[in-house]
Structure 1
Amino acid sequence: MPRRILAVCLGNICRSPAAEAVLRALLPGDQIDSAGTSDWHIGDQPHPPMIRAAAARGYDLTQLRARQFVAADFSAFDLILAMDGKNLADIEALRPEGNVTPVHLFTDYAPETGADHVPDPYYTGDYDGALDLIEVAARGLARAAAD
Structure 2
Amino acid sequence: MVSTDTDNSMVGTDTGNSMVGADTGNSMVGTDTGNSMVGTDTGNSMVVANMEDRLVKGQTTIFNDIVVERTRRCHQNDVENVIPFVLVGVLYVLTEPDPWWAAFHFRMFTFCRICHTLAYLFAIPQPARASMFGFGWFTVASMGVSVLLRGKF
Higher strand share: 1
Shorter-chain TM-score: which interval? 0.3 to 0.5
TM-score (structure 2 length as normaliser): 0.31
**Rg larger for:** 2
TM-score between the two structures when normalised by the length of structure 1: 0.32
